[in-house]
């Protein structure tokens, strides 16, 4: 028995664009299999396209593979093929081990049945015997944190509880290979932490994982190698850091396009609404003053904006908020932060500049800008998450993880024997 | 779960190709048949769970709950007994009180109606599950057939009460043989159910067509009336499998004997063939159907 648990060779999968074609080709394919004629998987029929094209990779025991790519790049399709829900139209997939999937948690839950009943149904769907479920029952309930709700119908569950229970059943069926599709993003922090711990335990036991996520942090944290899918083809297959960089570079391109589109849009609205005070031109620049949306880790970000005021305002405040790609509020700043440059009054046109230190680690970030009065009650102009920038840098090679660089000093000393025994002598 | 030498579970080696899943290290005679059997064995637990789920979920949040399962057949039975004592029904002599005759016929016929209707929707109704989880899909059809079995058992128990009501006792031998003779009806229904569930997967027209077809088939088949003499209907029914599958069990239960044993034997074999063919087609097509749902 080899160490390879998943071997994907030249796999392609086609989809139909329209329901009508789905029906037509479905009937044709079914009739073919009725009479035993081979499938014509090689050619594209009218209205079909390759959702995955010629994908190959291998996964060994104990490895964790991350699948990244933009929406519609074929990540979920690939997971479904690995799970054997869909068959490839070309190529082959070899699986060696019991497969567990967290593609959609809680599938097969019946809203009218209680949590307890649904655990048994869901467990059976995932291939567990009654004995196995009996043995793990308490553990499943405990992990899900459902408590006394276990005997209530699941339709009365909150969506978080629903997902937690589904996830809990799935991770307790002890697969050799676990496929995870974007489900880690649900649940509260406490539950996410439990999930990470479980996945970690999983890896330590020599099990393998394939993980789909948009969250670069999660991929970075869990995966040893990453495949970057772009429109159904493998664009990059390498160690995590390189693939993430490539992914970010790619995202930047699209993000920049999106942002520039949005800019025009906002300006149009501004004119219509005829605001009294407004940002007329916002640019992100690097330390040399060159306009860009892409920064290297550690590089300062300079936000420049032109500002027009048709009325006179006392002590205006210009503020900004930075969000992570998934919308987490990372921090805010405003013009009150520097006491010596507080603007006493505003009238006419100005050019303002913020210097943001090189705090952020690799990822996509969004910036909001706002102008309000000293009390914060009157808002003159606001652009919510309208400006995006990307921080580039090999995430794996940095001594920091997360969104921001945490300033940290570090020291150590070797303990003498006595100190080890009795603790610090002082 | 058996642990292999390297800690990997044994028996999970599988290859997916465009022709469907291929199980490694397996070959020899009747391979597909053995794999189908293996899948059925592995799905026993799931079939039972899905059946329980559907059965109990149907009666949740209803005031009288599970009593509905008994109430509906009681109404049918009551209707026939009532109509008969009011003298509305004049079918002629059928050897036993007409309500009994009709109820037994309807019960056997119902195996097909309930089974075909339930299994035609089995795959599509589980749509979300089918495209998100890999599991033996035959369990959906078998679980749907369980519904038909439960209904038959309840109806049979009620028919026993009607026997008591009329003060008639069937011969025990005939009763046992009669009940066994319902089995081919199950096989035929399951076989047809497999095909219907697949067909509904690509064509949502099937359940509607099925409703009409079932009413027409019941009119055509001597379920609630006997066939007498030589008529077009009689000649058509020589070739109607349902004629034998309904009437032979009823003949045995009511009279302890039948005249159509030869025809029944042929139809029983046909049912077995349909059952196996339907199952096999379903087994081979299930990998292809998921993406069409």
Query: Rounded CA gap, B102 and B90, in Å?
Result: 12
Q: How confident is the prediction for chain B on average, in pLDDT?
A: 85
A127–B135 CB contact, under 8 Å: yes
Q: Inform me whether the pLDDT recorded for A109 exceeds 90.
A: no
Distance from CA of A226 to the nearest CA of B (A): 23
pTM above 0.95, yes or no: no
Please give the angle made by the CA atoms of B51, B57 and B61, to the nearest 5 degrees: 160
State residue B10's pLDDT score.
45
Q: With 0-12 CB in 10 A as exposed, 13-18 as middle and 19+ as buried, what is B107?
A: buried
B8–A96 CB contact, under 8 Å: yes
Selecting from B8, B56, B284 the residue whose C-beta is nearest the C-beta of A176 gives: B8
Q: Which residues pair with A234 in a beta bridge?
A: A229
Tell me the pLDDT tens digit for each residue of B164-176: 988 888 888 999 9
State residue B143's pLDDT score.
94
Q: What is the CA radius of gyration of chain B?
A: 22
B18–A96 CB contact, under 8 Å: no
State residue B247's pLDDT score.
92
Q: Inform me whether the pLDDT recorded for A411 exceeds 80.
A: yes
Minimal-distance CA residue of chain B relative to A84 = B134
Closest CA to A311 of A371, A382, A383: A371
Tell me the pLDDT tens digit for each residue of A295-306: 888 889 998 888
The residue with greater pLDDT, A120 or A258, is: A120
Query: Rounded CA gap, A418 and B80, in Å?
Result: 97
Average pLDDT rounded to a whole number, residues A99-121: 83
**Dihedrals phi, psi of A366, to nearest 5 degrees:** -120, 145
**Dihedrals phi, psi of A187, to nearest 5 degrees:** 85, 160
Do A303 and A354 form a contact (C-beta atoms < 8 A)?
yes
Q: What is the CA radius of gyration of chain A?
A: 27
Q: Inform me whether the pLDDT recorded for A418 exceeds 80.
A: no
Closest CA to A216 of A388, A358, A394: A394
Q: Which residues pair with A239 in a beta bridge?
A: A225
Average pLDDT rounded to a whole number, residues B72-77: 81
A88–B17 CB contact, under 8 Å: yes
Average pLDDT rounded to a whole number, residues A110-118: 88
Do A315 and A344 form a contact (C-beta atoms < 8 A)?
yes
Q: By mean pLDDT, which of A37-41, A60-64, B208-212, B260-264 is the weakest?
A: A37-41
B45–A206 CB contact, under 8 Å: no
Q: What is the 3-state secondary structure (H, E, C) of B22-66?
A: EECCCCCCCHHHHHHHHHHHHHHHHHHHHHHHHHHHHHCCCCCCC
B202–A86 CB contact, under 8 Å: no
Query: Rounded CA gap, A20 and A297, in Å?
Result: 50
Average pLDDT rounded to a whole number, residues A417-424: 64
For residue A234, CA distances in Å to A178, A214, A218 come to 21, 16, 20
Closest CA to A163 of A118, A200, A127: A118
The structural domains of chain A, ordered by start, are 4-98+175-248 (3.40.50.300), 275-397 (2.70.50.60)
Do A209 and A180 form a contact (C-beta atoms < 8 A)?
yes
pLDDT band at A426 (very low <50, low <70, confident <90, very high): very low
B133–A153 CB contact, under 8 Å: no
Query: Rounded CA gap, A404 and A389, in Å?
Result: 14
Minimal-distance CA residue of chain B relative to A13 = B18
Chain A contacts of B18, Cβ < 8 Å?
A: 39, 41, 87-91
Do B115 and B186 form a contact (C-beta atoms < 8 A)?
yes
Q: By mean pLDDT, which of A121-135, A309-323, A374-388 is the weakest?
A: A374-388
Closest CA to B66 of B157, B156, B154, B146: B154
Q: Which residues pair with A268 in a beta bridge?
A: none
Query: Rounded CA gap, A123 and B50, in Å?
Result: 11
For residue A71, CA distances in Å to A13, A51, A74, A212, B35 come to 17, 12, 8, 11, 38
Burial per residue of B264-288, b for 16 or more beta-carbon CB atoms within 10 angstroms, e otherwise: beebbebbeebbbebbebbbbbbbb
Query: Rounded CA gap, B81 and B79, in Å?
Result: 6
Chain A contacts of B202, Cβ < 8 Å?
A: 22-23, 26-27, 30
Tell me the pLDDT tens digit for each residue of B75-132: 887 887 787 777 776 666 777 888 888 889 989 999 999 999 999 999 988 878 888 8
Selecting from B13, B129, B203 the residue whose C-beta is nearest the C-beta of A27 gives: B203
pLDDT band at B61 (very low <50, low <70, confident <90, very high): confident
Average pLDDT rounded to a whole number, residues B26-32: 72
Q: Inform me whether the pLDDT recorded for B8 exceeds 50.
A: no
ipTM score above 0.90:
no
Average pLDDT rounded to a whole number, residues A227-242: 83
Q: By mean pLDDT, which of A242-246, B23-27, B102-106 is the weakest?
A: B23-27
Structure tokens at A362: 């690799």
B57–A110 CB contact, under 8 Å: yes
* Torsion on CA atoms B275, B281, B287, B288, rounded to nearest 10: -130
State residue A112's pLDDT score.
84
State residue A196's pLDDT score.
80
Query: Rounded CA gap, B11 and A426, in Å?
Result: 62
For residue A294, CA distances in Å to A11, A243, A281, A401, B277 come to 34, 17, 18, 19, 62
Query: Rounded CA gap, B252 and B248, in Å?
Result: 6
H-state helical runs in A185-239: 189-204, 216-222
Structure tokens at A202: 């999983």
Q: By mean pLDDT, which of A25-29, A176-180, A190-194, B178-182 is the weakest?
A: A25-29
State residue A272's pLDDT score.
45
Chain B contacts of A5, Cβ < 8 Å?
A: 8
State residue A421's pLDDT score.
62
For residue A131, CA distances in Å to A232, A242, A301, B1, B80 come to 41, 45, 59, 12, 47
Q: Inform me whether the pLDDT recorded for A261 exceeds 60.
A: no
Query: Rounded CA gap, B20 and B34, in Å?
Result: 16
Q: Inform me whether the pLDDT recorded for B140 exceeds 90.
A: yes
A39–B287 CB contact, under 8 Å: no
Do B144 and B196 form a contact (C-beta atoms < 8 A)?
no
Sign of the torsion formed by the C-alpha atoms of A416, A420, A422 and A423: positive
Selecting from B20, B134, B198 the residue whose C-beta is nearest the C-beta of A83 gives: B134
For residue B116, CA distances in Å to A17, A31, B43, B81, B211 come to 32, 21, 21, 27, 10
Chain A contacts of B126, Cβ < 8 Å?
A: 108
Pairing of strands A177-181, A208-212: parallel
B4–A1 CB contact, under 8 Å: yes
Distance from CA of B65 to the nearest CA of A (A): 13
For residue A215, CA distances in Å to A49, A183, A222 come to 27, 11, 11
Q: Which residues pair with A101 in a beta bridge?
A: A179
Q: Which residues pair with A84 in a beta bridge?
A: none
Q: By mean pLDDT, which of A142-146, B29-33, B201-205 is the weakest?
A: B29-33
Do B200 and B206 form a contact (C-beta atoms < 8 A)?
yes
| Conformation bin of residue A374: beta by default, left when phi > 0, alpha when psi is -120 to 50 | alpha
Q: Inform me whether the pLDDT recorded for B195 exceeds 90.
A: yes
pLDDT band at A422 (very low <50, low <70, confident <90, very high): low
Sign of the torsion formed by the C-alpha atoms of B167, B169, B170 and B176: positive
Do B90 and B224 form a contact (C-beta atoms < 8 A)?
no
Structure tokens at A323: 């969000």
State residue B3's pLDDT score.
36
State residue A187's pLDDT score.
66
Do A237 and A66 form a contact (C-beta atoms < 8 A)?
no
Residue with tokens 């949590």: A115
SS3 state at B163: helix
State residue A137's pLDDT score.
93
Closest CA to A53 of A31, A65, A30, A69: A69
State residue A268's pLDDT score.
45
State residue B263's pLDDT score.
92
Residue with tokens 């043995």: A135
Q: With 0-12 CB in 10 A as exposed, 13-18 as middle and 19+ as buried, what is A201?
A: exposed
Q: Inform me whether the pLDDT recorded for A400 exceeds 90.
A: no
Q: How confident is the prediction for chain A on average, in pLDDT?
A: 80
* Torsion on CA atoms A64, A70, A74, A77, rounded to nearest 10: 70
Do A179 and A83 form a contact (C-beta atoms < 8 A)?
yes
Closest CA to A278 of A268, A289, A292: A268
Q: With 0-12 CB in 10 A as exposed, 13-18 as middle and 19+ as buried, what is A411?
A: exposed
Selecting from A39, A95, A112 the residue whose C-beta is nearest the C-beta of B19 gives: A39
């Amino acid at each position: 028995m080899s160490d390879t648990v998943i071997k994907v060779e030249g796999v392609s999968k086609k989809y139909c664009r329209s329901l009508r074609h789905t029906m037509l080709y479905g009937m044709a394919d079914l009739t073919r299999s009725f009479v035993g004629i081979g499938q014509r998987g090689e050619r594209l029929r009218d209205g079909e396209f390759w959702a995955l094209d010629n994908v190959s990779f291998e996964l060994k025991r104990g490895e964790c593979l991350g699948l990244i790519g933009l929406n519609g790049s074929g990540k979920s399709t690939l997971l479904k093929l690995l799970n054997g829900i869909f068959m490839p139209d070309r190529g082959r997939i070899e699986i060696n081990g019991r497969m567990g999937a967290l593609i959609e948690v809680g599938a097969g839950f019946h809203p009218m049945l209680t949590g307890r009943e649904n655990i048994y149904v869901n467990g059976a769907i995932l291939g567990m015997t009654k004995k196995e479920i009996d043995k793990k029952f308490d553990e499943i309930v405990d992990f899900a944190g459902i408590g006394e709700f276990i005997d209530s119908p699941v339709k009365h569950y909150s969506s978080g509880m629903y997902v937690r229970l589904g996830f809990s059943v799935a991770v307790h069926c002890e697969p050799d290979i676990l496929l995870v599709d974007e489900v880690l993003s649900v649940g509260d922090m406490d539950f996410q932490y439990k999930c990470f711990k479980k996945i970690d335990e999983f890896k330590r036991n020599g099990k393998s994982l394939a993980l789909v996520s948009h969250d670069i942090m999660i991929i970075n944290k869990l995966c040893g190698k990453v495949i970057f899918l772009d429109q159904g083809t493998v664009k990059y297959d390498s160690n995590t850091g390189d693939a993430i960089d490539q992914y970010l570079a790619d995202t930047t391109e699209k993000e920049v396009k999106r942002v520039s589109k949005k800019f025009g849009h906002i300006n149009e609205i501004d004119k219509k609404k005829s605001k009294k005070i407004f940002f007329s031109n916002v640019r992100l620049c690097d330390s040399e003053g060159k306009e860009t949306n892409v920064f290297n880790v550690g590089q300062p970000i300079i936000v420049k904006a032109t500002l027009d005021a048709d009325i006179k305002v006392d002590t205006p405040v210009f503020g900004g908020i930075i969000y992570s790609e998934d919308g987490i509020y990372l921090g805010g700043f405003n013009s009150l932060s520097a006491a010596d440059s507080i603007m006493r009054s505003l009238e006419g046109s100005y050019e303002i500049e913020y210097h943001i230190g090189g705090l952020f680690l690799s990822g996509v970030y969004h910036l909001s800008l706002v102008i309000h009065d000293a009390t914060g009650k009157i808002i003159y102009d606001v652009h919510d998450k309208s400006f995006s920038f990307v921080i580039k840098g090999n995430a794996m090679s940095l001594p920091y993880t997360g969104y921001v660089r945490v300033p940290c000093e570090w020291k150590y000393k070797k303990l003498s024997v006595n100190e080890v025994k009795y603790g610090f002598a002082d | 779960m058996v642990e292999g030498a390297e800690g990997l579970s044994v028996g999970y080696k599988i290859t997916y190709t465009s022709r469907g899943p291929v199980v490694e290290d397996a070959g020899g005679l009747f391979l597909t048949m053995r794999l189908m059997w293996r899948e059925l064995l592995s799905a026993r637990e799931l079939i039972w769970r899905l059946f329980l789920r559907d059965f109990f979920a149907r009666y949740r949040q209803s005031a009288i709950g599970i009593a509905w399962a008994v109430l509906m057949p009681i109404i049918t039975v009551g209707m026939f007994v009532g109509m008969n004592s009011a003298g509305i029904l004049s079918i002629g002599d059928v050897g036993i009180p007409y309500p009994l005759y009709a109820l037994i016929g309807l019960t056997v016929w119902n195996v097909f109606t309930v089974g075909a209707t339930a299994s035609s929707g089995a795959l599509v109704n589980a749509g979300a599950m089918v495209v998100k989880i890999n599991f033996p899909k035959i369990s959906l059809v078998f679980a749907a057939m369980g519904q038909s079995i439960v209904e038959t058992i309840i109806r049979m128990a009620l028919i026993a009460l009607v026997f008591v009501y009329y003060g008639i006792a069937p011969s025990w031998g005939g009763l046992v043989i009669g009940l066994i003779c319902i089995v081919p009806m199950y096989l035929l229904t399951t076989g047809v159910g497999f095909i219907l569930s697949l067909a509904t997967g690509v064509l949502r027209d099937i359940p509607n067509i099925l409703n009409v077809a079932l009413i027409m088939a019941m009119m055509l088949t001597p379920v609630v009336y006997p066939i007498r003499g030589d008529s077009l209907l009689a000649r058509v029914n020589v070739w109607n499998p349902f004629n034998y599958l309904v009437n032979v069990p009823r003949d045995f239960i009511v009279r302890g004997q039948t005249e159509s044993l030869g025809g029944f034997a042929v139809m029983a074999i046909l049912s077995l063939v349909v059952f196996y063919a339907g199952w096999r087609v379903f087994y081979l097509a299930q990998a292809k159907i998921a993406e069409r749902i």
